[in-house]
Structure 1
Amino acid sequence: MRFGPAVLALGGCLSLLFSVVSAQAQTAEVAGLQLPEGAVSRSQRETALGTYALPIGAFSETGIPLRLQEGHILRRTWSLQGDATVLQVLDVLRRQLVEQGYEILFQCESRQCGGFDFRFGIEVVPAPDMVVSLPDYHFLAAQKPALSAAETTAQQAVSLLVSRSGAATYIQLIEVTPDKQAPLPLSTVEAHEPEPEPLTGAENPALGLETLLEKQGHVVLDGVEFRTGAETLGQQAVASLQELADFLDKTPKAQLLIVGHTDSVGSLEDNTSLSLRRAQVVKETLVSTYGVAEGRIAVAGAGFMAPIASNLNAAGRERNRRVEAVILSR
């Protein structure tokens, strides 16, 4: 299912949010990246020596073009509150990379990247440290040019993934640094407690499904629950599906993606297939029981790749066995 590309007008929209960035990025003496004002650290994961599959093209029938980069791998994430768009945040960081000699290898927005297939085909730090909204993310891959023929296999490479979910923008930076080279220095930002996980109507009865969809861009469907390995809907799902059908009836141009999720019991292949079947069951019920047009709903299965709780205990696994509705367009 396709959805219309967002029309992004930059102009004067960068405002004071990026005033510090603009000033420091233009100063030749400043090395590294200056993050947008207000960005707070969420996580840092490090691999002393490993291989990172750097995406260098969009998803197609043959998959995602990848280039294997070997070296020290540093994965860092941040979140930012405010009204800045995904492209505004990416643009600030992209300009700084270019000013420091990086070449842009590949860049895309969610639809051009391949939507769901691209997002779940690349490495993403797990939620809640990194949250990716399927209809609103941008990706960029860049590298430092080799200074000599001997360095062609040891180039410094980075990827940037920026997405907006609810009122927050999330930033993921993955760097692969050859031996004896330092990672990009960054501005110091203080860590804070992770933001609350996406709400459901049951967790906050004052907010209905429509309000949660508007605020977060996606919502866990209350009552759409499954036992491990099961794919049968129970009566407790009726209220959520009726509310979702009402939302679609009130917004005739809206299109949704129904995403199934599983716990971690079993293989990735089996769970991905199971989660897709769960999403398909929800779609079929919306179409056959509530009269929703089939073409307005796409389905996907994420398996256990996007947990919202720990899979190490029964309560966490139960929360992870869920179905979410994601707004693609309206």
Structure 2
Amino acid sequence: MIRVLSFLAILLATNANAQDLAMPTSARQISERISPLDSYDLPTGAFANGIVPARTVEGRVERTTWRVQSGSSTTLQILSPLRDQLAAQGFDIIFECDSRNCGGFDFRFGTEVVPTPDMYVAIHDFRFLSATRGSDVLSLLVSRNPPDGFVQLIRVAPVEASSPPPLVIEEAVDGTLGILQVLQRDGHVILDDLHFSTGEVALGDGPFSSLRLLAAFLNENPRVKLALVGHTDDTGDLQANVAVSTKRAQAVRNRLIETHGVAADRIQAEGVGYLSPITSNSTSEGRYTNRRVEAVLLVN
């Protein structure tokens, strides 16, 4: 109960930015990504007719996540004090839902979520809300993986028209690294903002921040090349999965070439099917995690 009540202090100042939020002592900020000028599709309704209704807003976009020792607290117990604070600060709640009413899996993968491990979303146990206050807009996403709770705040504030368009900044918080830092440190990185359903090879419309970052990285490092490697879950036989994973990698390669202007000879696409899982395929969450595309750094 003490942990739940301590959330009442989470949003103190009316004009506070995401990085200034007062969190309870049990909370740890996991990540913070700041785009001084970017766009965000703010969900305004539940998944229906194949889409999540959204309002596109532009400005300074702050994407911040926290891990909280929630114990047996429900997602509503985590979200409710945050919602009360938003109301006290003058925000209007324009949309709110729980996992079932949001649209479950379809809503989760139809809206923007900070990539794992910085944000965890249980498909059947999350809550979401969108709020506005004048030209300020934000969304809150809350989920659980007991004994921990996870909170994601995406906030968009207007940028003065006279301000020059700055570069996107990806900041590390508490030792977490951005995808380019991981790519250079480890030689490979999972592109966590991409998603493919079982058996599907088409890449969504995006935009995908990972692809923008990779394109900029290649532009700044002309001697570097990338291999895109597709992976699947273990549904079906190996030959079919290798074909699917290759097509997924090719879809990402095509997007980098056609949308981001990357030279075709700088990227190759391969697929290995289900031969390199990063977690068990015994759960739907595990199968989702294993369906991925990784970027491999080629420096020679």
Using the size of structure 2 for normalisation, the TM-score is: 0.55
CA gap of 1:44–1:121, structure 2 versus 1, over 3 A, is same
Partner in structure 2 of residue 178 of structure 1: 158
Q: Which residue does 2:251 correspond to in 1? A: 267
Q: 1:110 aligns with which of 96, 99, 115?
A: 99
How many angstroms apart in 1 are the aligned matches of 2:67 and 2:42? Answer: 22
Counterparts of 1:17 and 1:118 in 2: how far apart (Å)? 29
Counterpart residue number, 1:280: none
1:230-279 superposed Cα distances (whole Å, 9 cap, x missing partner): 85348xxxxxxxxxxxxxxxxxxxxxxxxxx96962326xxxxxxxxxxx
User: CA separation in 1, counterparts of 2:52 and 2:14?
Assistant: 35
Q: Tell me what 1:99 maps to.
A: 88
**Matching of residue 38 in structure 1 with residue 26 in structure 2:** yes
Alignment pair present for 1:130 and 2:119: yes
Structure 2 distance, partners of 1:312, 1:44, is 32
Q: Give the SS at the match of 1:265.
A: helix
Q: Given that residues 18 and 36 in structure 1 are in contact (C-alpha distance below 8 angstroms), is that contact kept between their aligned partners in structure 2?
A: no
The verdict on how the C-alpha distance between 1:95 and 1:40 changes in structure 2, with shifts beyond 3 A counting, is same
Aligned counterpart, 1:65: 53
- Pairing 1:119–2:108 present: yes
Q: Which amino acid aligns with 1:323?
A: N
* Among candidates 132, 143, 163, match of residue 132 of structure 2: 143
Query: CA offsets per residue over residues 171-204 of structure 1, 9 Å max, x none?
Result: 1000111025xxxxxxxxx93779xxxxxxxxxx
* Bigger fraction of residues in strand: 2
Secondary structure of the corresponding residue to residue 58 of structure 1: coil
How far apart, CA to CA, are the structure 1 residues paired with 2:280 and 2:245? 7
Q: 1:89 aligns with which of 74, 78, 86?
A: 78
CA distance in 2, matches of 1:87, 1:50: 30
1:169 match: 149
CA contact (8 A) 1:57 1:65 kept: yes
* Distance of aligned partners of 1:62 and 1:173 in 2 relative to their CA distance in 1, 3 Å threshold: same
Q: Which runs of 5+ in 2 are unaligned?
A: 161-172, 178-229, 239-243, 253-268, 286-300
Instruction: Return the match for 2:174 from 185, 191, 214.
Output: 191
| Alignment-mate amino acid for residue 232 of structure 1 | G
**Contact 2:4–2:77 (Cα < 8 Å) also in 1:** no
Deviations 1:10-63 (A, max 9, x none): xxxxx21144444x5798x77644334411011111111111000000001141
What amino acid sits opposite 2:125 in the alignment?
A: D
Q: Distance in 1 between matches of 2:11 and 2:249?
A: 51
Tell whether the 8 Å contact from 1:139 to 1:159 is kept in structure 2 after alignment. Answer: yes
Match of 1:278 in 2: none
Q: What's the % identity of the aligned pairs?
A: 35
Residues in 1 aligned to 2:91 and 2:249: alpha-carbon distance in whole angstroms: 42
How many pairs are equivalent?
Answer: 194
RMSD, aligned α-carbons: 3.7
Distance in 2 separating the partners of 1:40 and 1:312: 38
Give the letter aligned to residue 157 of structure 1. Answer: V
1:163 and 1:119, CA in 2 relative to 1: closer, same or farther beyond 3 A?
A: same
For 1:25 and 1:323, how far apart are their aligned partners in 2?
Answer: 37
For residues 265 and 55 of structure 1, the distance between their equivalents in structure 2, rounded to whole angstroms, comes to 28
Partner of 2:41: 53
Shift of 1:103: 0.4
Distance in 2 between the 1:93 and 1:42 partners?
18
Q: Aligned partners of 1:36, 1:317: CA distance in 2, in Å? A: 42
Deviation of the 1:322 alpha carbon: 6.3
Larger Rg: 1
Superposed, 1:152-231 pairs within 5 Å as: 155-179=135-159, 191=174
1:198-238 Cα offsets, whole Å, 9 max, x none, are: xxxxxxxxxxxxxxxxxxxxxxxxxxxxx95785348xxxx
The 5-angstrom pairing of residues 244-263 of structure 1 reads none
Please tell me the residue identity of whatever aligns with 1:191. D
